[in-house]
Chain A
Amino acid sequence: MTHRRSPFTLTLLILIPCVFIYQIAIVLIGQRTDLAGPPVMLTWKNDMLQYQCLGNEIRNRIPEHDSLYVGNGSASLLAVELAIVASPDHPIVAQPGEAKWKLHLVPSSNGCYGLSLLVERVGSP
Protein backbone atom coordinates (compact mmCIF):
# COMPACT_ATOMS: atom_id res chain seq x y z
CA MET A 1 0.00 0.00 0.00
CA THR A 2 1.46 3.34 -0.99
CA HIS A 3 0.93 6.56 0.88
CA ARG A 4 -1.66 7.61 -1.65
CA ARG A 5 -4.08 4.87 -0.65
CA SER A 6 -3.25 5.23 2.97
CA PRO A 7 -5.99 4.83 5.58
CA PHE A 8 -5.71 8.55 6.24
CA THR A 9 -6.42 9.48 2.62
CA LEU A 10 -9.30 7.03 2.34
CA THR A 11 -10.72 8.30 5.61
CA LEU A 12 -10.62 11.86 4.34
CA LEU A 13 -12.34 10.86 1.14
CA ILE A 14 -15.22 9.22 2.98
CA LEU A 15 -15.37 11.42 6.06
CA ILE A 16 -15.46 14.86 4.46
CA PRO A 17 -18.60 14.38 2.32
CA CYS A 18 -20.25 12.86 5.39
CA VAL A 19 -19.38 15.99 7.40
CA PHE A 20 -20.93 18.15 4.68
CA ILE A 21 -24.12 16.10 4.72
CA TYR A 22 -24.21 15.96 8.52
CA GLN A 23 -23.87 19.74 8.80
CA ILE A 24 -26.71 20.21 6.33
CA ALA A 25 -28.92 17.56 7.94
CA ILE A 26 -28.70 18.73 11.55
CA VAL A 27 -29.71 22.26 10.64
CA LEU A 28 -32.43 21.40 8.19
CA ILE A 29 -33.97 18.72 10.38
CA GLY A 30 -33.96 21.19 13.24
CA GLN A 31 -35.65 23.79 11.09
CA ARG A 32 -38.31 21.38 9.91
CA THR A 33 -39.07 20.46 13.50
CA ASP A 34 -39.33 24.11 14.36
CA LEU A 35 -41.67 24.79 11.48
CA ALA A 36 -43.81 21.82 12.40
CA GLY A 37 -44.28 23.07 15.95
CA PRO A 38 -47.16 25.14 17.25
CA PRO A 39 -47.58 28.16 15.01
CA VAL A 40 -48.03 30.67 17.75
CA MET A 41 -48.84 30.89 21.40
CA LEU A 42 -51.17 33.62 22.50
CA THR A 43 -52.07 34.13 26.12
CA TRP A 44 -54.57 36.37 27.78
CA LYS A 45 -53.27 38.57 30.51
CA ASN A 46 -55.60 41.16 32.03
CA ASP A 47 -57.71 41.28 28.88
CA MET A 48 -54.59 41.71 26.81
CA LEU A 49 -53.55 39.17 24.22
CA GLN A 50 -49.84 38.81 24.57
CA TYR A 51 -47.63 37.29 21.95
CA GLN A 52 -45.15 34.79 23.24
CA CYS A 53 -41.62 34.41 22.01
CA LEU A 54 -41.86 31.38 19.79
CA GLY A 55 -40.50 32.92 16.64
CA ASN A 56 -43.43 31.79 14.55
CA GLU A 57 -46.18 33.64 12.83
CA ILE A 58 -49.47 34.85 14.10
CA ARG A 59 -50.98 34.97 10.65
CA ASN A 60 -53.05 31.84 11.02
CA ARG A 61 -54.73 33.26 14.08
CA ILE A 62 -55.43 36.68 12.63
CA PRO A 63 -55.94 35.91 8.95
CA GLU A 64 -56.26 38.02 5.84
CA HIS A 65 -54.14 40.89 6.99
CA ASP A 66 -50.77 40.88 5.39
CA SER A 67 -49.13 43.20 7.84
CA LEU A 68 -49.94 41.05 10.82
CA TYR A 69 -46.68 39.21 11.00
CA VAL A 70 -45.45 39.29 14.54
CA GLY A 71 -41.86 39.01 15.48
CA ASN A 72 -40.17 37.32 18.36
CA GLY A 73 -41.41 39.59 21.06
CA SER A 74 -39.29 42.61 20.36
CA ALA A 75 -39.67 43.88 16.83
CA SER A 76 -41.54 42.72 13.80
CA LEU A 77 -42.83 43.80 10.47
CA LEU A 78 -46.01 44.87 12.18
CA ALA A 79 -44.13 46.75 14.84
CA VAL A 80 -41.90 48.29 12.22
CA GLU A 81 -44.79 49.42 10.09
CA LEU A 82 -46.58 50.79 13.11
CA ALA A 83 -43.47 52.54 14.30
CA ILE A 84 -43.53 54.61 11.15
CA VAL A 85 -47.10 55.74 11.33
CA ALA A 86 -47.82 55.63 15.01
CA SER A 87 -46.28 56.00 18.39
CA PRO A 88 -46.88 54.23 21.70
CA ASP A 89 -49.17 57.09 22.67
CA HIS A 90 -51.29 56.69 19.57
CA PRO A 91 -52.07 53.01 19.08
CA ILE A 92 -53.63 51.84 15.89
CA VAL A 93 -56.88 49.93 15.73
CA ALA A 94 -56.82 47.21 13.10
CA GLN A 95 -59.72 45.09 11.95
CA PRO A 96 -58.55 41.67 10.86
CA GLY A 97 -61.52 39.58 9.89
CA GLU A 98 -64.50 40.21 12.11
CA ALA A 99 -62.57 40.91 15.26
CA LYS A 100 -61.21 44.23 16.35
CA TRP A 101 -57.79 44.46 17.76
CA LYS A 102 -55.94 47.30 19.34
CA LEU A 103 -52.22 47.12 18.90
CA HIS A 104 -49.91 48.65 21.43
CA LEU A 105 -46.24 49.36 21.09
CA VAL A 106 -44.57 49.22 24.45
CA PRO A 107 -40.97 49.23 25.62
CA SER A 108 -39.46 45.81 25.31
CA SER A 109 -38.87 43.94 28.50
CA ASN A 110 -35.40 42.88 27.45
CA GLY A 111 -34.44 46.48 26.75
CA CYS A 112 -32.66 45.62 23.57
CA TYR A 113 -34.79 46.75 20.73
CA GLY A 114 -37.20 49.09 22.36
CA LEU A 115 -40.44 47.68 21.03
CA SER A 116 -42.76 44.92 22.02
CA LEU A 117 -46.20 44.21 20.78
CA LEU A 118 -49.38 43.78 22.72
CA VAL A 119 -52.59 42.90 20.92
CA GLU A 120 -55.75 43.87 22.76
CA ARG A 121 -59.06 42.45 21.65
CA VAL A 122 -61.63 45.18 21.80
CA GLY A 123 -64.45 43.49 19.92
CA SER A 124 -65.93 40.02 19.77
CA PRO A 125 -64.74 37.83 16.93
Chain B
Amino acid sequence: MMFLLIVVLSSLASIVPCIVLYGRSPLALVLAPLLTALCAALAAQMEVAFAGGFLPWFLGTVAVVNAAAGLLHFRCRNAMAEKKDRASWVEGWWTILVIAVVIIEVALPLLELRYPLNTVDGLATYYLHTLFISAGHHQIVAALQNPALFFMNQNYPLLDPASQVAAFIVRGEPDARLGMLVIGWLDLCALLVVVVGLVAIVPEWLSFKAKVFCVVILSLFAVVGIALDASYVLSGDADLLWSACAVAAIVYGTLLPRTRGNACVAALGILVIAVTKNEGFVTALFLAAVLVWRYREELMLTQAHRGTVQRVCIAGLAFLVLTAPGLWWELYVIKNHLSAAFFNDLHHSEPPLTRIWPSLVSIGHFLAVGILVVGIWLLAPPQTRLSRRKLGIPTSRYLWLTVLWYLGALMGTYVFGVLEIHYWLLSSTNRTTIFPVLLFFVELSIWFIVALAAILGERQVTVKASQRDEL
Protein backbone atom coordinates (compact mmCIF):
# COMPACT_ATOMS: atom_id res chain seq x y z
CA MET B 1 0.00 0.00 0.00
CA MET B 2 2.83 2.34 0.92
CA PHE B 3 4.54 1.48 -2.35
CA LEU B 4 1.40 2.27 -4.36
CA LEU B 5 1.09 5.60 -2.56
CA ILE B 6 4.68 6.42 -3.50
CA VAL B 7 4.03 5.41 -7.12
CA VAL B 8 1.09 7.83 -7.27
CA LEU B 9 2.95 10.64 -5.53
CA SER B 10 6.02 10.26 -7.74
CA SER B 11 3.81 10.72 -10.79
CA LEU B 12 1.77 13.60 -9.36
CA ALA B 13 4.85 15.54 -8.27
CA SER B 14 6.01 16.09 -11.84
CA ILE B 15 2.98 15.44 -14.00
CA VAL B 16 2.45 19.12 -14.86
CA PRO B 17 5.94 19.69 -16.35
CA CYS B 18 5.69 16.43 -18.29
CA ILE B 19 2.31 17.40 -19.77
CA VAL B 20 3.57 20.87 -20.64
CA LEU B 21 6.69 19.54 -22.35
CA TYR B 22 5.43 16.29 -23.90
CA GLY B 23 1.71 16.93 -24.23
CA ARG B 24 -1.41 15.33 -22.85
CA SER B 25 -0.42 11.72 -23.22
CA PRO B 26 -0.53 8.77 -20.85
CA LEU B 27 3.21 8.60 -21.45
CA ALA B 28 3.51 11.67 -19.20
CA LEU B 29 2.44 9.42 -16.32
CA VAL B 30 5.56 7.29 -16.68
CA LEU B 31 7.85 10.19 -17.56
CA ALA B 32 6.83 12.00 -14.37
CA PRO B 33 8.47 9.57 -11.89
CA LEU B 34 11.74 9.90 -13.81
CA LEU B 35 11.53 13.70 -13.58
CA THR B 36 10.73 13.41 -9.87
CA ALA B 37 13.80 11.20 -9.46
CA LEU B 38 15.86 13.84 -11.26
CA CYS B 39 14.51 16.48 -8.84
CA ALA B 40 15.49 14.21 -5.94
CA ALA B 41 19.02 13.86 -7.33
CA LEU B 42 19.36 17.64 -7.70
CA ALA B 43 18.05 18.09 -4.15
CA ALA B 44 20.60 15.61 -2.80
CA GLN B 45 23.39 17.36 -4.70
CA MET B 46 22.35 20.70 -3.21
CA GLU B 47 22.19 19.14 0.25
CA VAL B 48 25.73 17.88 -0.21
CA ALA B 49 27.07 21.07 -1.75
CA PHE B 50 25.40 23.66 0.47
CA ALA B 51 23.63 22.87 3.75
CA GLY B 52 20.43 21.64 5.33
CA GLY B 53 18.41 18.52 4.90
CA PHE B 54 17.06 16.69 1.91
CA LEU B 55 13.37 17.48 2.35
CA PRO B 56 13.44 21.29 1.91
CA TRP B 57 15.73 21.01 -1.09
CA PHE B 58 13.52 18.36 -2.64
CA LEU B 59 10.29 20.27 -2.11
CA GLY B 60 11.95 23.42 -3.38
CA THR B 61 13.24 21.72 -6.52
CA VAL B 62 9.87 20.14 -7.32
CA ALA B 63 8.17 23.50 -6.74
CA VAL B 64 10.62 25.35 -9.00
CA VAL B 65 10.27 22.77 -11.79
CA ASN B 66 6.47 22.92 -11.59
CA ALA B 67 6.46 26.71 -11.44
CA ALA B 68 8.80 26.92 -14.43
CA ALA B 69 6.56 24.55 -16.38
CA GLY B 70 3.48 26.59 -15.47
CA LEU B 71 5.21 29.79 -16.49
CA LEU B 72 6.29 28.23 -19.76
CA HIS B 73 2.75 27.07 -20.41
CA PHE B 74 1.12 30.45 -19.83
CA ARG B 75 3.82 32.62 -21.42
CA CYS B 76 4.38 30.51 -24.52
CA ARG B 77 0.94 28.92 -24.82
CA ASN B 78 0.21 30.32 -28.25
CA ALA B 79 3.63 29.57 -29.67
CA MET B 80 3.60 26.03 -28.29
CA ALA B 81 0.09 25.40 -29.58
CA GLU B 82 1.10 26.47 -33.07
CA LYS B 83 4.16 24.28 -33.05
CA LYS B 84 2.38 21.27 -31.60
CA ASP B 85 3.05 18.46 -33.97
CA ARG B 86 1.63 14.99 -34.01
CA ALA B 87 4.60 12.89 -33.02
CA SER B 88 3.16 9.47 -33.84
CA TRP B 89 0.00 7.40 -33.93
CA VAL B 90 0.83 6.01 -30.48
CA GLU B 91 -1.37 8.31 -28.48
CA GLY B 92 -4.21 8.00 -25.99
CA TRP B 93 -5.55 4.47 -25.75
CA TRP B 94 -2.70 3.04 -27.76
CA THR B 95 -0.23 4.26 -25.15
CA ILE B 96 -2.41 2.83 -22.39
CA LEU B 97 -2.50 -0.49 -24.26
CA VAL B 98 1.30 -0.52 -24.55
CA ILE B 99 1.70 0.24 -20.84
CA ALA B 100 -0.83 -2.47 -19.92
CA VAL B 101 0.81 -5.11 -22.13
CA VAL B 102 4.27 -4.33 -20.75
CA ILE B 103 3.07 -4.54 -17.16
CA ILE B 104 1.38 -7.89 -17.87
CA GLU B 105 4.48 -9.24 -19.60
CA VAL B 106 6.91 -8.20 -16.88
CA ALA B 107 4.71 -9.32 -14.00
CA LEU B 108 5.84 -12.94 -14.04
CA PRO B 109 9.59 -12.24 -14.25
CA LEU B 110 9.33 -9.66 -11.49
CA LEU B 111 7.56 -12.14 -9.24
CA GLU B 112 10.15 -14.78 -10.05
CA LEU B 113 13.02 -12.41 -9.45
CA ARG B 114 12.18 -11.41 -5.90
CA TYR B 115 15.57 -11.82 -4.42
CA PRO B 116 17.35 -11.43 -1.11
CA LEU B 117 18.78 -8.03 -0.31
CA ASN B 118 22.29 -9.08 -0.92
CA THR B 119 23.92 -7.07 -3.67
CA VAL B 120 26.97 -5.03 -2.94
CA ASP B 121 25.91 -1.91 -4.83
CA GLY B 122 22.31 -2.08 -3.65
CA LEU B 123 23.29 -2.10 0.00
CA ALA B 124 26.87 -1.03 0.58
CA THR B 125 26.54 1.79 -1.92
CA TYR B 126 22.99 2.98 -2.38
CA TYR B 127 21.30 2.05 0.88
CA LEU B 128 24.21 3.43 2.85
CA HIS B 129 24.00 6.63 0.81
CA THR B 130 20.29 6.91 1.59
CA LEU B 131 20.89 6.71 5.32
CA PHE B 132 23.52 9.43 5.21
CA ILE B 133 21.46 11.66 2.90
CA SER B 134 18.51 11.25 5.27
CA ALA B 135 20.71 12.33 8.16
CA GLY B 136 21.45 15.75 6.66
CA HIS B 137 24.28 17.78 5.15
CA HIS B 138 26.95 17.19 7.76
CA GLN B 139 26.42 13.45 7.89
CA ILE B 140 26.49 12.89 4.16
CA VAL B 141 29.52 15.14 3.64
CA ALA B 142 31.40 13.42 6.47
CA ALA B 143 30.50 10.01 5.08
CA LEU B 144 31.55 10.91 1.54
CA GLN B 145 34.92 12.11 2.81
CA ASN B 146 35.51 9.32 5.31
CA PRO B 147 38.33 7.06 4.03
CA ALA B 148 36.99 4.16 6.09
CA LEU B 149 33.82 4.17 4.01
CA PHE B 150 35.50 3.97 0.63
CA PHE B 151 33.71 0.68 -0.02
CA MET B 152 30.44 2.58 -0.42
CA ASN B 153 31.70 4.06 -3.70
CA GLN B 154 31.64 7.64 -2.50
CA ASN B 155 31.92 9.11 -5.98
CA TYR B 156 28.73 7.48 -7.26
CA PRO B 157 26.06 9.96 -8.45
CA LEU B 158 23.06 10.42 -6.20
CA LEU B 159 19.88 9.80 -8.20
CA ASP B 160 19.38 6.25 -6.99
CA PRO B 161 19.75 6.89 -3.25
CA ALA B 162 17.99 10.25 -3.48
CA SER B 163 14.92 8.62 -5.04
CA GLN B 164 14.85 6.15 -2.18
CA VAL B 165 15.18 8.95 0.37
CA ALA B 166 12.19 10.71 -1.19
CA ALA B 167 10.21 7.50 -0.65
CA PHE B 168 11.46 7.19 2.92
CA ILE B 169 10.05 10.65 3.64
CA VAL B 170 6.59 9.37 2.77
CA ARG B 171 7.07 6.27 4.88
CA GLY B 172 8.60 8.16 7.78
CA GLU B 173 11.67 5.95 8.18
CA PRO B 174 14.29 4.21 6.03
CA ASP B 175 13.20 0.91 4.60
CA ALA B 176 15.64 -0.97 2.38
CA ARG B 177 12.97 -3.09 0.74
CA LEU B 178 10.77 -0.12 -0.05
CA GLY B 179 13.73 1.76 -1.51
CA MET B 180 14.56 -1.15 -3.78
CA LEU B 181 10.96 -1.41 -4.95
CA VAL B 182 11.10 2.29 -5.83
CA ILE B 183 14.17 1.74 -8.00
CA GLY B 184 12.39 -1.21 -9.62
CA TRP B 185 9.45 1.09 -10.38
CA LEU B 186 11.80 3.64 -11.99
CA ASP B 187 13.35 0.81 -14.04
CA LEU B 188 9.90 -0.11 -15.28
CA CYS B 189 9.03 3.51 -16.12
CA ALA B 190 12.20 3.87 -18.18
CA LEU B 191 11.50 0.61 -20.01
CA LEU B 192 7.90 1.69 -20.67
CA VAL B 193 9.15 4.91 -22.24
CA VAL B 194 11.46 2.91 -24.52
CA VAL B 195 8.72 0.47 -25.57
CA VAL B 196 6.29 3.30 -26.40
CA GLY B 197 9.08 4.82 -28.51
CA LEU B 198 9.69 1.53 -30.32
CA VAL B 199 5.99 1.09 -31.03
CA ALA B 200 5.94 4.63 -32.44
CA ILE B 201 8.34 3.44 -35.15
CA VAL B 202 5.69 1.01 -36.42
CA PRO B 203 4.06 2.48 -39.55
CA GLU B 204 0.58 3.86 -39.02
CA TRP B 205 -0.90 2.18 -42.10
CA LEU B 206 -0.64 -1.31 -40.59
CA SER B 207 -3.94 -2.93 -39.68
CA PHE B 208 -5.26 -2.88 -36.11
CA LYS B 209 -4.38 -6.54 -35.61
CA ALA B 210 -0.87 -6.04 -36.95
CA LYS B 211 -0.36 -3.08 -34.62
CA VAL B 212 -1.52 -5.12 -31.62
CA PHE B 213 0.85 -7.91 -32.68
CA CYS B 214 3.68 -5.38 -32.81
CA VAL B 215 2.79 -4.08 -29.36
CA VAL B 216 2.92 -7.62 -27.93
CA ILE B 217 6.28 -8.43 -29.55
CA LEU B 218 7.95 -5.06 -28.92
CA SER B 219 6.79 -5.09 -25.30
CA LEU B 220 9.08 -8.07 -24.86
CA PHE B 221 11.86 -5.48 -24.94
CA ALA B 222 10.90 -4.53 -21.38
CA VAL B 223 11.03 -8.17 -20.31
CA VAL B 224 14.47 -8.48 -21.89
CA GLY B 225 15.57 -5.47 -19.84
CA ILE B 226 14.22 -7.01 -16.65
CA ALA B 227 15.83 -10.35 -17.51
CA LEU B 228 19.21 -8.80 -18.27
CA ASP B 229 19.26 -7.09 -14.90
CA ALA B 230 17.98 -10.33 -13.37
CA SER B 231 18.37 -10.41 -9.61
CA TYR B 232 19.43 -6.78 -9.49
CA VAL B 233 16.03 -5.43 -10.61
CA LEU B 234 14.67 -5.50 -7.08
CA SER B 235 17.96 -4.92 -5.34
CA GLY B 236 18.22 -1.18 -5.69
CA ASP B 237 20.99 -1.20 -8.30
CA ALA B 238 21.02 1.61 -10.82
CA ASP B 239 22.37 -0.27 -13.84
CA LEU B 240 19.09 -1.02 -15.57
CA LEU B 241 17.74 2.43 -14.73
CA TRP B 242 20.52 4.37 -16.41
CA SER B 243 20.73 1.89 -19.30
CA ALA B 244 17.02 2.10 -20.09
CA CYS B 245 17.01 5.89 -19.82
CA ALA B 246 20.00 6.07 -22.16
CA VAL B 247 18.21 3.79 -24.63
CA ALA B 248 15.15 6.04 -24.37
CA ALA B 249 17.36 9.03 -25.17
CA ILE B 250 18.64 7.28 -28.30
CA VAL B 251 15.22 6.08 -29.47
CA TYR B 252 13.51 9.47 -28.99
CA GLY B 253 16.53 11.57 -29.84
CA THR B 254 17.86 9.82 -32.92
CA LEU B 255 15.31 7.34 -34.31
CA LEU B 256 11.96 9.10 -33.94
CA PRO B 257 11.02 12.25 -35.88
CA ARG B 258 12.34 15.58 -34.65
CA THR B 259 9.54 17.00 -32.52
CA ARG B 260 9.46 19.02 -29.33
CA GLY B 261 8.04 16.11 -27.36
CA ASN B 262 10.63 13.61 -28.58
CA ALA B 263 13.44 16.08 -27.86
CA CYS B 264 12.13 16.59 -24.32
CA VAL B 265 12.03 12.84 -23.64
CA ALA B 266 15.58 12.45 -24.99
CA ALA B 267 16.76 15.40 -22.89
CA LEU B 268 15.14 13.96 -19.77
CA GLY B 269 16.87 10.64 -20.45
CA ILE B 270 20.25 12.34 -20.78
CA LEU B 271 19.75 14.42 -17.64
CA VAL B 272 18.76 11.33 -15.65
CA ILE B 273 21.65 9.10 -16.76
CA ALA B 274 24.21 11.81 -16.04
CA VAL B 275 23.30 11.75 -12.34
CA THR B 276 22.59 8.03 -12.02
CA LYS B 277 25.93 6.34 -12.66
CA ASN B 278 29.40 7.41 -13.70
CA GLU B 279 29.29 5.36 -16.89
CA GLY B 280 25.93 7.01 -17.48
CA PHE B 281 27.62 10.40 -17.23
CA VAL B 282 30.23 9.38 -19.80
CA THR B 283 27.43 8.24 -22.11
CA ALA B 284 25.46 11.42 -21.43
CA LEU B 285 28.36 13.53 -22.71
CA PHE B 286 28.18 11.75 -26.05
CA LEU B 287 24.39 11.66 -26.29
CA ALA B 288 24.12 15.36 -25.45
CA ALA B 289 26.45 16.16 -28.34
CA VAL B 290 24.41 13.90 -30.63
CA LEU B 291 21.12 15.50 -29.59
CA VAL B 292 22.45 19.02 -30.13
CA TRP B 293 23.75 17.98 -33.56
CA ARG B 294 20.48 16.33 -34.63
CA TYR B 295 18.40 19.32 -33.50
CA ARG B 296 20.77 21.88 -34.96
CA GLU B 297 18.03 23.33 -37.18
CA GLU B 298 15.67 23.80 -34.26
CA LEU B 299 18.51 25.40 -32.30
CA MET B 300 19.01 27.71 -35.29
CA LEU B 301 22.59 26.59 -35.73
CA THR B 302 22.18 26.27 -39.47
CA GLN B 303 21.05 29.83 -40.13
CA ALA B 304 23.50 31.49 -42.46
CA HIS B 305 23.50 34.86 -40.75
CA ARG B 306 24.84 33.44 -37.50
CA GLY B 307 28.58 33.60 -37.06
CA THR B 308 30.72 30.67 -36.02
CA VAL B 309 31.21 32.03 -32.51
CA GLN B 310 27.47 32.49 -32.08
CA ARG B 311 26.79 28.94 -33.25
CA VAL B 312 29.42 27.49 -30.96
CA CYS B 313 27.98 29.44 -28.03
CA ILE B 314 24.44 28.24 -28.70
CA ALA B 315 25.56 24.63 -29.16
CA GLY B 316 27.76 24.84 -26.06
CA LEU B 317 24.92 26.26 -24.00
CA ALA B 318 22.54 23.50 -25.10
CA PHE B 319 25.20 20.89 -24.33
CA LEU B 320 25.82 22.46 -20.94
CA VAL B 321 22.14 22.47 -20.03
CA LEU B 322 21.88 18.75 -20.83
CA THR B 323 24.95 17.77 -18.85
CA ALA B 324 24.97 20.40 -16.09
CA PRO B 325 23.66 18.23 -13.21
CA GLY B 326 26.15 15.48 -14.04
CA LEU B 327 29.01 17.91 -14.54
CA TRP B 328 28.20 19.53 -11.22
CA TRP B 329 28.50 16.22 -9.39
CA GLU B 330 31.68 15.18 -11.18
CA LEU B 331 33.30 18.54 -10.39
CA TYR B 332 32.28 18.13 -6.74
CA VAL B 333 33.88 14.67 -6.73
CA ILE B 334 37.11 16.01 -8.21
CA LYS B 335 37.24 19.10 -6.00
CA ASN B 336 36.68 17.14 -2.80
CA HIS B 337 38.82 14.14 -3.78
CA LEU B 338 35.98 11.69 -3.19
CA SER B 339 37.12 8.13 -3.37
CA ALA B 340 36.85 6.39 -6.70
CA ALA B 341 37.24 2.80 -5.59
CA PHE B 342 38.03 1.68 -9.12
CA PHE B 343 40.95 4.04 -9.54
CA ASN B 344 42.34 4.72 -6.08
CA ASP B 345 45.80 3.63 -5.04
CA LEU B 346 44.76 1.40 -2.17
CA HIS B 347 45.03 -1.70 -4.27
CA HIS B 348 47.82 -3.28 -6.22
CA SER B 349 46.74 -4.98 -9.35
CA GLU B 350 47.91 -6.32 -12.65
CA PRO B 351 49.49 -4.05 -15.28
CA PRO B 352 47.05 -2.72 -17.91
CA LEU B 353 48.28 -4.92 -20.74
CA THR B 354 47.44 -8.13 -18.88
CA ARG B 355 43.92 -6.85 -18.21
CA ILE B 356 42.94 -6.34 -21.85
CA TRP B 357 42.24 -9.93 -22.86
CA PRO B 358 40.20 -10.95 -19.79
CA SER B 359 38.16 -7.76 -20.20
CA LEU B 360 37.49 -8.48 -23.88
CA VAL B 361 36.48 -12.06 -23.16
CA SER B 362 34.20 -11.14 -20.29
CA ILE B 363 32.47 -8.26 -22.08
CA GLY B 364 32.22 -10.25 -25.31
CA HIS B 365 30.50 -13.09 -23.48
CA PHE B 366 27.52 -10.85 -22.79
CA LEU B 367 27.47 -9.21 -26.23
CA ALA B 368 26.81 -12.42 -28.19
CA VAL B 369 23.53 -11.05 -29.55
CA GLY B 370 25.57 -8.29 -31.18
CA ILE B 371 26.92 -10.87 -33.64
CA LEU B 372 23.39 -11.54 -34.83
CA VAL B 373 22.67 -7.82 -35.21
CA VAL B 374 25.87 -7.22 -37.17
CA GLY B 375 25.08 -10.28 -39.29
CA ILE B 376 21.64 -8.92 -40.16
CA TRP B 377 23.14 -5.55 -41.01
CA LEU B 378 25.75 -7.15 -43.27
CA LEU B 379 23.42 -9.64 -44.96
CA ALA B 380 20.38 -7.42 -45.42
CA PRO B 381 19.67 -7.21 -49.16
CA PRO B 382 19.41 -3.73 -50.72
CA GLN B 383 15.63 -4.03 -51.09
CA THR B 384 15.20 -4.63 -47.37
CA ARG B 385 17.37 -1.61 -46.63
CA LEU B 386 15.23 0.34 -49.08
CA SER B 387 12.08 -0.80 -47.24
CA ARG B 388 13.56 0.57 -44.06
CA ARG B 389 14.26 3.94 -45.67
CA LYS B 390 10.74 4.04 -47.15
CA LEU B 391 9.30 3.60 -43.67
CA GLY B 392 11.13 6.77 -42.69
CA ILE B 393 13.33 5.05 -40.11
CA PRO B 394 16.68 6.81 -39.90
CA THR B 395 19.89 4.83 -40.07
CA SER B 396 21.21 3.60 -36.76
CA ARG B 397 24.57 5.34 -37.05
CA TYR B 398 24.13 7.24 -33.79
CA LEU B 399 23.14 4.02 -32.05
CA TRP B 400 26.28 2.25 -33.25
CA LEU B 401 28.50 5.23 -32.47
CA THR B 402 27.08 5.24 -28.96
CA VAL B 403 27.83 1.52 -28.61
CA LEU B 404 31.42 2.10 -29.68
CA TRP B 405 31.81 5.13 -27.40
CA TYR B 406 30.45 3.25 -24.41
CA LEU B 407 32.40 0.05 -24.99
CA GLY B 408 35.57 2.11 -25.40
CA ALA B 409 34.94 3.84 -22.08
CA LEU B 410 34.10 0.52 -20.43
CA MET B 411 37.27 -1.15 -21.70
CA GLY B 412 39.30 1.84 -20.52
CA THR B 413 37.79 1.54 -17.05
CA TYR B 414 38.61 -2.14 -16.73
CA VAL B 415 42.08 -1.86 -18.24
CA PHE B 416 43.24 1.20 -16.30
CA GLY B 417 41.29 0.48 -13.11
CA VAL B 418 43.01 -1.02 -10.12
CA LEU B 419 40.71 -3.71 -8.76
CA GLU B 420 41.75 -7.31 -9.20
CA ILE B 421 40.52 -7.84 -12.75
CA HIS B 422 38.97 -11.29 -12.56
CA TYR B 423 36.94 -10.53 -9.45
CA TRP B 424 35.93 -7.21 -10.93
CA LEU B 425 34.78 -8.68 -14.24
CA LEU B 426 32.98 -11.54 -12.54
CA SER B 427 31.04 -9.16 -10.35
CA SER B 428 30.18 -6.47 -12.86
CA THR B 429 30.17 -7.23 -16.59
CA ASN B 430 26.68 -8.75 -16.46
CA ARG B 431 25.48 -5.28 -15.40
CA THR B 432 27.83 -3.00 -17.30
CA THR B 433 26.86 -4.67 -20.59
CA ILE B 434 23.12 -4.16 -20.14
CA PHE B 435 23.22 -0.89 -22.07
CA PRO B 436 24.85 -2.14 -25.30
CA VAL B 437 22.75 -5.32 -25.24
CA LEU B 438 19.58 -3.23 -24.96
CA LEU B 439 20.76 -1.19 -27.92
CA PHE B 440 21.20 -4.39 -29.91
CA PHE B 441 17.62 -5.29 -29.07
CA VAL B 442 16.48 -1.87 -30.26
CA GLU B 443 18.14 -2.61 -33.59
CA LEU B 444 16.49 -6.05 -33.68
CA SER B 445 13.13 -4.40 -32.97
CA ILE B 446 13.60 -2.08 -35.92
CA TRP B 447 14.43 -4.96 -38.26
CA PHE B 448 11.35 -6.80 -36.99
CA ILE B 449 9.18 -3.79 -37.82
CA VAL B 450 10.79 -3.51 -41.25
CA ALA B 451 10.19 -7.21 -41.98
CA LEU B 452 6.58 -7.12 -40.82
CA ALA B 453 5.83 -3.93 -42.72
CA ALA B 454 7.44 -5.34 -45.87
CA ILE B 455 5.38 -8.51 -45.77
CA LEU B 456 2.09 -6.85 -44.81
CA GLY B 457 2.74 -4.08 -47.29
CA GLU B 458 3.06 -6.65 -50.04
CA ARG B 459 -0.11 -8.36 -48.85
CA GLN B 460 -1.92 -5.05 -48.89
CA VAL B 461 -0.76 -4.40 -52.44
CA THR B 462 -1.68 -7.95 -53.48
CA VAL B 463 -5.18 -7.66 -52.00
CA LYS B 464 -5.76 -4.37 -53.75
CA ALA B 465 -4.56 -5.87 -57.03
CA SER B 466 -6.86 -8.88 -56.67
CA GLN B 467 -9.78 -6.59 -55.91
CA ARG B 468 -8.93 -4.59 -59.02
CA ASP B 469 -8.85 -7.80 -61.06
CA GLU B 470 -12.27 -8.79 -59.75
CA LEU B 471 -13.63 -5.44 -60.81
Contacts and interface: CB of A to CB of B under 8 A. Distances in A.
B150 A114 contact: yes
Interface stretch (B36-44, B118-126, B309-317, B402-410): B118-126
Interface string B164-190: 000000000000100000000000000
A70 B120 CA distance: 10
A72 B387 CA distance: 50
A9 B451 contact: yes
Interface residues of A, number: 46
A31 B384 contact: no
A79 B124 contact: yes
A63 to B, nearest CB: 14
Given A10-B455, A23-B369, A77-B176, A110 B420 contact: yes
B220 A17 contact: yes
Interface string B116-151: 111110011001100100000000000000001111
Contacts of A75: 120, 123-124, 151
Contacts of A12: 376, 384, 447-448, 450-451
Contacts of B2: none
Contact of B444 (A4, A16, A35, A59): A16
B467 interface: no
Interface in B78-129: 109, 112-113, 115-120, 123-124, 127-128
Given A4-B387, A83-B149, A24 B123 contact: no
B109 A113 contact: no
Contact of A20 (B220, B376, B457): B220
B448 A80 contact: no
Nearest to B226: A24
Contacts of A3: 381, 383-384, 387, 454
Interface in A101-125: 110-115
Contact of A5 (B113, B127, B231, B458): B458
A115 to B, nearest CB: 6
Contacts of A84: 128, 131
Given A16-B448, A24-B227, A110-B423, A4 B457 contact: yes
A80 B117 CA distance: 12
Interface string A57-90: 1010000000001111011110110011000000
B319 interface: no
A31 B113 contact: yes
Contacts of A21: 220
A6 B380 CA distance: 11
A17 B217 contact: yes
A27 B455 contact: no
A46 interface: no
A53 B120 CA distance: 12
B244 interface: no
A56 interface: yes
A8 B381 contact: yes
Contacts of B263: none
B118 A24 contact: no
A27 to B, nearest CB: 4
A5 B460 CA distance: 12
B10 to A, nearest CB: 24
Contact of A69 (B116, B217, B224): B116
B32 interface: no
B455 A5 contact: yes
A29 to B, nearest CB: 10
30 contacts: A4-B458, A5-B454, A8-B384, A10-B451, A12-B448, A16-B444, A17-B448, A20-B444, A21-B220, A23-B369, A24-B224, A28-B109, A28-B230, A32-B112, A35-B112, A55-B118, A57-B116, A57-B117, A69-B117, A72-B120, A75-B120, A76-B118, A76-B123, A80-B124, A112-B151, A112-B347, A112-B420, A112-B423, A112-B424, A114-B148
Given A56-B116, A69-B118, 13 more contacts: A3-B381, A3-B383, A17-B217, A17-B220, A23-B224, A23-B228, A23-B441, A27-B228, A27-B230, A28-B113, A71-B120, A72-B119, A75-B123
Interface of B: 109, 112-113, 115-120, 123-124, 127-128, 131, 148-151, 176, 217, 220-221, 223-224, 227-228, 230-231, 341, 347, 369, 372, 376, 379-381, 383-384, 387, 419-420, 423-424, 441, 444-445, 447-448, 450-452, 454-455, 457-458
